[in-house]
Amino acid sequence: MKHCHCTPYDLDIDMHEVFLLMGYKNTVPESNTLLLVDKIFAEISNICIPQYIYEIYNGNIHDKTSIEVNDRRFRTGKIITHYLYGMEECCVFATTAGWEYETYKKHLREKGEILEEFIADAIGSVIAEACVKNITEELAENNNCTYPYSPGYCNWELTEQTLLFSLLPETPCGITLTDSCLMVPIKSTSGIIGIGKNIKQKAYACNICENKNCYKRKEI
């Protein structure tokens, strides 16, 4: 099992992803907003301690809508299961922007700095996702692997977070689950990555996914 602490400066942060989450699709913010984004990113980077953890287990396709990982069955749904075909092992992961980030954002909210909190929210999401990118790149050095997939997307029920977390240490990276299976700190991610010699990495199937409000959705 690998557990890593880092700083936002250690991660491959794509500011265009931040702008996308802020609502800028094919443009960049105006100059004064860009300055504010840079200021908030610097403040977050000085206090934020992102973390990620992952473990690799035996994994295989059980049927068209489910997989087995370390003798646990996950009902990943038809879309995700299709993209995991060829899986021989499965990486189970969790990442977070951390509690320090959560405290920073809370202070912005308490001061009534709405725009600053909005920008910080976008940056926190991208930090957590950049940790996932680190995991994928580490795995890809010696393996063929899929893109990451998470409970709550593409008909994979969010309630299976509990089963997923059973394959990680208790409160991995300080993350806990609420009764409704949401992660705390909020800017956290979890999921799986398929590994196998016959796997071919395929793009996300946004054109057939029914969730039109998914923040990961690509333009189609």
Distances (CA, A) of 30 to 39, 115, 130, 175: 14, 14, 25, 35
220, part of any domain: no
pLDDT above 50 (res 213)? no
205, part of any domain: no
165, part of any domain: yes
pLDDT of residue 114: 96
pLDDT above 90 (res 217)? no
Domains: count for the chain: 1
pLDDT above 60 (res 181)? yes
- SS3 of residue 164 by DSSP: helix
pLDDT of residue 200: 75
pTM score, two decimals? 0.90
208, part of any domain: no
pLDDT of residue 205: 57
Instruction: Calculate ∠ Cα 220-134-210, nearest 5°.
Output: 25
Percentage of residues in the chain having pLDDT higher than 70: 91
CA separation for the pair 133, 202 (Å, rounded): 15
Per the CB < 8 A criterion, the answer to whether 49 and 104 are in contact is no
Rg (CA), the chain: 18
116, part of any domain: yes
Give tens-digit pLDDT for 116-137.
999 999 999 999 999 999 999 9
pLDDT of residue 154: 87
174, part of any domain: yes
The burial class, CB within 10 Å (0-12 / 13-18 / 19+), for 67 is: buried
pLDDT above 70 (res 100)? yes
Q: What is the CATH number of the domain that holds 159?
A: 3.40.109.40
- Structural domain including 9 reads 2-195
51, part of any domain: yes
163, part of any domain: yes
